[in-house]
């Protein structure tokens, strides 16, 4: 993938709002030491997080047990 786009990510995410939250959470995970799920080059962490989302490696976990 030469360039990641919002449209690439939105194929796997229901909204731009959810995309922002997913990317932010994934960057936090990487900063805390999590391994990348796709091959990371010289890109910033946020670009790699968006590549992971576009590749379908990061998904939304829906909590259905809200009491």
66 domain-assigned: no
39 domain-assigned: yes
pLDDT of 6-55, one tens digit each? 999 999 999 999 999 999 999 999 999 999 999 877 888 999 999 999 99
Quick one: pLDDT at residue 15? 93
Quick one: pLDDT at residue 59? 85
Q: Take residue 47 and report the two structure tokens written for it.
A: 């670009």
59 domain-assigned: no
Residue 56 DSSP one-character state? T
pTM of the model: 0.83
CA distance between the termini of the chain: 42
Residue ranges making up the domain that contains 18: 6-54
Quick one: pLDDT at residue 1? 52
Q: Where residue 16 sits, what CATH number does that domain have? A: 3.90.940.10
- Split into its structural domains, the chain has a count of 1
Q: Report how far residue 62's alpha carbon sits from residue 7's, in angstroms, rounded to the nearest whole number.
A: 22
Quick one: pLDDT at residue 41? 76
């Amino acid at each position: 993938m030469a360039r990641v786009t919002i449209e690439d990510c939105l194929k796997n995410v229901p909204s731009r709002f959810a995309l922002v939250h997913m990317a932010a959470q994934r960057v936090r995970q990487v900063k805390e030491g999590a391994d990348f799920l796709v091959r990371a080059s010289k890109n910033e962490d946020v670009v790699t997080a968006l590549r992971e989302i576009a590749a379908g490696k990061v998904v939304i976990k829906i909590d259905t047990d809200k009491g």
